[in-house]
Amino acid sequence: MMRRYVFPLLLGLCGVAILLSLGAWQLRRLAWKEALLAGIEAQIHGAPEALPAPGTADPLVLKYRPVALQGTTTGEGLLVLTGQKGLGAGYEVISVFETSDNRRILLDRGFVPEAARDAPRPPVALDVLGNLHWPNETDSYTPAPDLKTGLWFARDVPEMARALNTEPLLVVVSSVTGDAQGVEPVPVGIEGIPNDHLGYAITWFSLAAVWAGMTAFLLWRIRQRQN
């Protein structure tokens, strides 16, 4: 009689154990991700430093590093199609920035609404606080930029640098002095970094509960058939 219970019971216990282990693994991943995000947050708001020397910028090491710089925009630039919650569609303004030590870099000055797309942005002297950034926004579905109009559909630092003849360095403005051209800074943050591990853990634990319930129901049905 008991033999009829052995296989479904073992199957149920193994399934529950596997699903619980997957849920526990996601909880460990959650703790790791939260520590990673806390580190990034601390780096974003750390003490600003000078730009790295030309040719030494490692995106894996220097991403999010706070920097302080002075210089002048050149009037060259491009627009990246984007949107802001509560403001609707608009553009991220990427300008060529010549630093006080004569380096040409990319400066993400921030957001302008659709109506300000063609507003003039002549050269202007700026004191900038910001963060180095190499956004990962492009994939195989990203449309190619319209080089004639300067409209881009994602921030691609190497390609933007080639198009504007700058170093492959992008500084995202967090605060600026001297910019009176209606551009609203959009500082870097951790909001766009996915952290779905808690949801995954809840899913695995829920599946474990369902599996346990189905096992119990199957054992009950076997018992009923024997009566």
pLDDT of residue 2: 60
Mean pLDDT comparison of 50-54, 156-160, 223-227, highest-scoring range: 156-160
**3-class DSSP state of 177:** strand
Quick: pLDDT tens for 12-49: 899 999 999 999 999 999 999 999 999 989 999 999 99
- The Cα–Cα gap between 114 and 85 comes to 14
- The Cα–Cα gap between 186 and 193 comes to 15
Residue 25 belongs to what H/E stretch? Answer: helix 3-44
Quick: pLDDT tens for 57-116: 888 889 999 999 999 999 999 999 998 877 788 999 999 999 999 999 999 999 999 999
Quick: pLDDT tens for 142-195: 999 998 888 999 999 999 999 999 999 999 999 999 877 789 999 998 887 889
Q: Which CATH architecture has domain 48-177?
A: Beta Barrel (2.40)
Per-position DSSP letters for 84-141, written without gaps between them: ETTTEEEEEEEEEEEETTS-EEEEEEEEEEGGGTT------EEEEEEEE-------TT
Q: What are the strands, taking DSSP E only, across the chain? A: 66-84, 88-99, 104-113, 125-132, 151-152, 170-177
Contacts of 215 (CB under 8 A, 6+ apart): 8, 9, 11, 12, 13, 15, 16
pLDDT band at 221 (very low <50, low <70, confident <90, very high): confident
